[in-house]
Structure 1
Amino acid sequence: MANSPYSTNVPLDFRAPPPSPVAAGRRSSVANDEILTEFLHRSLRVPDLVLPDRVFPRQNSKIQNLPKLDFKALNNSSSGFDQVIDVIAQTGCFELVNHGISGQLLSSVVDSGAGVFRLSQEKKSIVSRSAERLYGFVEFHGDEKELNEEFVWCRDDSLKLVMEKVWADQYSNFSEKMEALMCKIENISEVLVQLFLARFSLKPRFDDDDDGVKKKEIAGSLCYLYKHCSDSEIISNDDQYMDSLRYDVIRMLIRGSEHSHTLCFHVCDGSSEFHVYSKKGWVSFSPDTNALIITIGDQLQTWSEGKYKHVIGRPIFKGDLEDYISMAFLYSPPPPIPKIQKDNTISFGHQVLFVLILTFLYNLYSFIFT
């Protein structure tokens, strides 16, 4: 076919002919011409876009004094706290003073927790979080310069086995201190939750999600450890600082319901400000020294049908400082034992009685046949 008169090295051009011009005064043949025109006008309209700067919550107030709850006075008498609790329900955040946790224990846990972030990047990657493993180091992706690092601690045995390999010389000591502090926080949380629920005659509800499937999450309470970066380049540049803060906060808001909890205890001595974020915006205030800052969790908001507002808190460290460590303890009360499981459980007294009866029958059987 090479000698065929129809073969050529120039590709054939099968371009479509240009469209025929339409007369300007010609009317459309569609019966409902106005309806069609309105439909096309609406379809071609550019939608209103929500830009990133509008996603970032709007600041409602520069400095706001949060309500304070005296835990020591609360143990003596719960009267006179109704008004304070009503304010806490609206703000979703308060400061707990005279909580009974020694500053020495808090400082010891913070100092020990700083060692977690001194591990090499190779060891951190071994204990990085994933969809199947909800504890360990939180990995960041992208070119943004982060203002902190995150590590999630819990009572999971798998975390203990992994950390004892990568941090063999110090993890046992760190875990014991965390366990001691977590127990004290859980004891305080139980008192506060009962007080908050009694204010509105509420009861806790342990239901599944709306789709009937329980979310995969860490059982029980856990702690987020944050290492706040002291990079003077970021802190001295307001634009870079705000960009990093927006990125960090938006990520935090997206992950706000990652672990369902009732209360969140923030340990952040040395912070210059504390930000409280909600859907309506955010406020900032200067926390008191030695006070625990507590934010309301999603569980308490659900149990109270919205009477208590779920918010997210974040400490802010400004200035040319060394690396600071803050902690956020998320308290989740254990669900009640199901009634079926209670009915199938044999008490210790019944077990002893059962052993005595078996012993008596055995001795009687031996006596008869001997």
Structure 2
Amino acid sequence: MESNFPVVDMGLLQTEKRPEAMDKIKDACENWGFFEVVNHGISHELLDTVENLTKGHYKKCMEQRFKEMVASKGLEAVQTEIDDLDWESTFFLKHLPVSNVYEVPDLDDEYRKVMKDFALKLEKLAENLLDLLCENLGLEKGYLKKAFYGSKGSTFGTKVSNYPPCPKPDLIKGLRAHTDAGGIILLFQDDKVSGLQLLKDGSWIDVPPMKHSIVINLGDQLEVITNGTYKSIEHRVIAQQDGTRMSIASFYNPGSDAVIFPAPELIEKTEEENKLKYPKFVFEDYMKLYAGLKFQAKEPRFEAMKAVETTVNLGPIETV
């Protein structure tokens, strides 16, 4: 376990230790791209319910399907590394701008209700965290939420994943290395089975499983808006031979038509010779590109958006 992995006690933000907690968030955003939060305002009772229902749903509705997929592809017997498949069983929920929680098949009513409640709490936490980042960056309160807004508000969705035991974890990744395309990601992960790793200074470091914590990481859009002050970090999931790892990742992202560009206040603070490091683009265009290049380096994605920028008249940004 990485002993100096940043863990932020959000309870301290209401005390005289606020400056220390803010410094810890600042350092985590600048040097890790990841941190874990505790005392984040989401009750342990709700988290335990979400975990129990998620694990129960996997066993009841998804485990058998996953085993059949493994058998049909002959994955038990692979001899060489697989680089076009992830050892995970997933489903997706959309919350904003419109929820589909009641349309997704196979979920029982209690689970739907709990996930809806959980999403509302996470949305609030995401917006609270974005304002803390604004404070650290010297941006006005609400700047990042506004930058994400587009014409219909932010997009927000959850990827519910289970990583079953894998017979060949050296040959099949739970989830291949990538950076996240969007804004701020909030992850509620298994506190017993580890597997999430991030790349720091050329080494893969475990993100420690901690009971009732929420892991936060920054996506590509925050790298662009902060003009590279904060960076999205490559991460992956290592499949394990024992135990099924639960992972519930919620993505608080810009609206599809939000125009993303570096915050003018932050460009002024950058070194003279490379003031503007990132292009201006519509989030949806970035996502179309990302869909095909998720497991590749992010820099060529930014370069490709620069090429698009010259051909698109994006006009003034909408602020709401």
Give the TM-score of the pair, scaled to structure 1. Answer: 0.54
The 1:324/1:183 distance shift into structure 2, 3 A limit, reads same
Partner of 2:163: 228
Residue 219 of structure 2: which of 297, 310, 313 is its match? 297
In 2, the alpha carbon distance for the partners of 1:100 and 1:71 equals 8
Matches within 5 A, 1:1-370: 63=2, 65-76=4-15, 78-88=18-28, 89-117=30-58, 118-119=60-61, 143-144=74-75, 147-155=87-95, 159-160=100-101, 162-163=103-104, 166-167=105-106, 170-202=107-139, 203-204=143-144, 206=147, 220-231=155-166, 234=167, 240-245=168-173, 248-250=174-176, 253=178, 256-257=180-181, 260-277=182-199, 280=202, 282-314=204-236, 318=240, 320-321=242-243, 323-332=244-253
How far did 1:178 drift?
A: 0.8
Larger radius of gyration, structure 1 or 2?
Answer: 1
Q: Count the aligned residue pairs.
A: 241
Give yes or no for contact 2:7–2:36 (8 Å, CA) kept in 1.
yes
1:155-205 Cα offsets, whole Å, 9 max, x none, are: 376844643xx43xx533212111111111121221211111221223436
* Code of the aligned partner of 1:288: M
Could you tell me which runs of 5 or more consecutive residues in structure 1 were left unpaired when the two chains were aligned.
1-61, 125-137, 209-213, 235-239, 343-370
How far did 1:65 drift?
A: 2.3
The 1:333/1:106 distance shift into structure 2, 3 A limit, reads farther
Calculate the aligned-residue CA RMSD, in Å.
Answer: 4.0
In 2, the alpha carbon distance for the partners of 1:340 and 1:297 equals 22
Between Structure 1 and Structure 2, which shows a larger proportion of strand residues?
2
In 1, the alpha carbon distance for the partners of 2:234 and 2:180 equals 7
In 1, the alpha carbon distance for the partners of 2:154 and 2:137 equals 27
In 1, the alpha carbon distance for the partners of 2:15 and 2:185 equals 22
Give yes or no for contact 2:157–2:250 (8 Å, CA) kept in 1.
yes
* Code of the aligned partner of 2:41: G
- SS of equivalent residue, structure 1 residue 79: helix
* Code of the aligned partner of 2:188: H
In 2, the alpha carbon distance for the partners of 1:207 and 1:70 equals 26
- SS of equivalent residue, structure 1 residue 307: coil
The 1:299/1:332 distance shift into structure 2, 3 A limit, reads same
1:317-337 Cα offsets, whole Å, 9 max, x none, are: 74533x34221111236699x
The 1:227/1:83 distance shift into structure 2, 3 A limit, reads same
Could you tell me which runs of 5 or more consecutive residues in structure 2 were left unpaired when the two chains were aligned.
77-85, 259-315
The 1:80/1:161 distance shift into structure 2, 3 A limit, reads closer
How far did 1:104 drift?
A: 2.0
In 2, the alpha carbon distance for the partners of 1:340 and 1:293 equals 31
The 1:341/1:123 distance shift into structure 2, 3 A limit, reads farther
Give the TM-score of the pair, scaled to structure 2. Answer: 0.61
Give yes or no for contact 1:264–1:297 (8 Å, CA) kept in 2.
no
Give yes or no for contact 2:169–2:239 (8 Å, CA) kept in 1.
no
In 2, the alpha carbon distance for the partners of 1:92 and 1:339 equals 27
- SS of equivalent residue, structure 1 residue 72: helix
- SS of equivalent residue, structure 1 residue 243: coil
The 1:280/1:108 distance shift into structure 2, 3 A limit, reads same
The 1:309/1:119 distance shift into structure 2, 3 A limit, reads same
Give yes or no for contact 2:9–2:37 (8 Å, CA) kept in 1.
yes
In 1, the alpha carbon distance for the partners of 2:175 and 2:99 equals 30
Give yes or no for contact 2:192–2:209 (8 Å, CA) kept in 1.
no
